[in-house]
Structure 1
């Protein structure tokens, strides 16, 4: 008999392919498990089917989002924002049984989403759902493949990144000293002069402010970076006995920018960061230096500003076929003139 009692275990000793085949030995706590395993090995010697299948995973998407929110959400920047996005997606999909979400079942959702949201927003939503399943799979909370993995981003034209002109910057700087809220005025100056994100500037503490630099620690990439500043900005930050922490005032700053400068609808304080980067490149600043100042983890992010460089792709005016033809003609004419002059001597 291939099943026998051995101490407190039940031993399975079987050769499913005959005496010359591979020998399989396993031990189990109960005889029922041993019997199921023996039957599986004999009946499915060539197939790869589980002998002790798990019960079906009937958890709904909302339950998996709850697991993600408890374990992973506190560890990432703006976790609350992504939690809100995932819950909205869950409502749009009517909270389905997660394991029943197939690529085919979910492929129509981005198209429906675009009826009420921008393409960029839809792409961000798809990425958020994709990241959720990737994390669940990586941590062992699910054992099936990511149903969103094959859903591709919707291609769209690169968005224009507006920035403030010199006149707008001048008007803003002239108004700031009269603004009733000191924190708004100072944070705008910090973002304009360092390219910091509003959240990074707002999180500054007194010990991170030095006469020649600011040290940003609450960054998107989780990496600390130092950005040089001049003495004027240092004195302004600590003027009138002021000491950080700054109060939360992004809404007030956004309202100020939109009302004072008549900016396009939807502009946020992030335009201050774009303004720093754009003018830095237009003035001939090095793109790698800009990457370190802005704290971009990838140079591709910084290259979005490369087209503003004064010498960006200037070879196009010199090396296009028309210019090359004219240069060739000029060269040939100079050779002929030189030869003609040489013959006279």
Structure 2
């Protein structure tokens, strides 16, 4: 519709921005006034883009995930695994159009996953993965709007118990490893207890990484190299192991199974998911109980944030000891 003659005058009925745009209706006493108003509306659309309706973004979520993978994800150490997780997440979400993906979309998805018994940590990781997709796309110029997940809070998760071994339990495990069929499991366990390394880091050591009384860890979880001094006794054991391997290549064969069997031969009960990781927790816990420096421990463990290392701070002999002398009962 445009300009029509009515009983009340000349009526203008226009959608200057086209279908989907704002509609304007106004009646004038003369046709000239109606034509002038019509021309003014069209001029406004040409001069002011905000008059035009925003075009729909017909891309789907998978398109943004592909952009993230091509320009960023493929360069990450865990990029392949994250890419696979993102594609699965996208499929479960129904691969929505980008202009239909809102914070509420993810909130509803997360609610259903919680009801299905999915662990909060898993959902927090999915949230972080998807949020990073939008952040990276925005940095690269493929996404111009706000990140729809920027204001979605992660689920608060209670701190998990960090189990560590007592001196008696350490002796028990080492004895169990001494009678193991694996010649490597005992030495790998000693490395973990002496340096706080992860089992995979110790098991994957090469002969060239042990020298000058230190173990030089590379290809770590954080991607940063770190060197940890070791005792003369352990250094001699590793040098002997290196000689047995010909002085090159990997120091150890796969021996995780041997450690698991050694634990099963003892009466030690470990929390779920902390089979070999208990050795790392044991190193950190005893380090603090022996009055070690929390900043030094952060460097030894290779933590990128001190917040992660602070989980062990309460084990320090001096930690919060003033509570015994500064409480009201003590000063009565």
TM-score in terms of structure 2 length: 0.76
Distance 1:248 1:152 in 2: 43
Seen in structure 2, the aligned counterparts of structure 1 residues 178 and 283 have a Cα distance that, compared at 3 Å, is same
Q: Is the 8 A contact 1:203 1:218 kept in 2?
A: no
Q: Which residue of 1 aligns with 2:260?
A: 255
What secondary structure is seen at the aligned counterpart in 2 of 1:107? helix
Distance 1:202 1:70 in 2: 32
Please state if 1:275 is matched with 2:276.
no
What secondary structure is seen at the aligned counterpart in 2 of 1:227? strand
Count of residues paired in the alignment: 286
Seen in structure 2, the aligned counterparts of structure 1 residues 224 and 266 have a Cα distance that, compared at 3 Å, is closer
Shift of 1:303: 0.8
Q: Which residue of 1 aligns with 2:292?
A: 285
CA RMSD of aligned residues (A): 2.9
Distance 2:51 2:188 in 1: 60
Q: Which residue of 2 aligns with 1:323?
A: 330
| Superimposed CA distance per residue, residues 294-338 of structure 1 (whole angstroms, 9 cap, x where no aligned partner) | 1112211111110111111011111112212x2xxxxxxxxxxxx
What secondary structure is seen at the aligned counterpart in 1 of 2:118? coil
Distance 1:144 1:95 in 2: 19
- Structure 2 stretches lacking a partner, 5+ long: 1-39
What secondary structure is seen at the aligned counterpart in 2 of 1:214? strand
Q: Is the 8 A contact 1:257 1:263 kept in 2?
A: no
1:86-165 alignment to 2 at 5 Å? 86-114=86-114, 115-165=116-166
Please state if 1:64 is matched with 2:36.
no
Asked which structure has the greater RCO (Cα within 8 Å, sep 6+), the reply is: 2
Q: Which residue of 2 aligns with 1:309?
A: 316
Distance 1:291 1:80 in 2: 28
Distance 2:62 2:253 in 1: 31
Distance 2:62 2:137 in 1: 13
What secondary structure is seen at the aligned counterpart in 2 of 1:322? coil
Q: Is the 8 A contact 1:40 1:51 kept in 2?
A: no
Q: Which residue of 1 aligns with 2:306?
A: 299
Q: Which residue of 1 aligns with 2:226?
A: 225
Distance 2:110 2:102 in 1: 14
Seen in structure 2, the aligned counterparts of structure 1 residues 188 and 66 have a Cα distance that, compared at 3 Å, is farther
| Superimposed CA distance per residue, residues 250-294 of structure 1 (whole angstroms, 9 cap, x where no aligned partner) | 752663365243323332422221111011111111111111111
- Structure 1 stretches lacking a partner, 5+ long: 1-38, 327-345
Seen in structure 2, the aligned counterparts of structure 1 residues 160 and 262 have a Cα distance that, compared at 3 Å, is closer
Distance 1:111 1:233 in 2: 51
Shift of 1:102: 0.7
1:69-80 alignment to 2 at 5 Å? 69-80=69-80
TM-score in terms of structure 1 length: 0.73
Q: Is the 8 A contact 1:197 1:270 kept in 2?
A: yes
| Superimposed CA distance per residue, residues 65-87 of structure 1 (whole angstroms, 9 cap, x where no aligned partner) | 23333432343232333223322
Seen in structure 2, the aligned counterparts of structure 1 residues 134 and 323 have a Cα distance that, compared at 3 Å, is same
Seen in structure 2, the aligned counterparts of structure 1 residues 237 and 59 have a Cα distance that, compared at 3 Å, is farther
Seen in structure 2, the aligned counterparts of structure 1 residues 309 and 46 have a Cα distance that, compared at 3 Å, is farther
| Superimposed CA distance per residue, residues 77-125 of structure 1 (whole angstroms, 9 cap, x where no aligned partner) | 3233322332232232122223321112222222222233112222222
Distance 1:258 1:46 in 2: 76
Q: Is the 8 A contact 1:195 1:277 kept in 2?
A: yes
Distance 1:246 1:269 in 2: 18
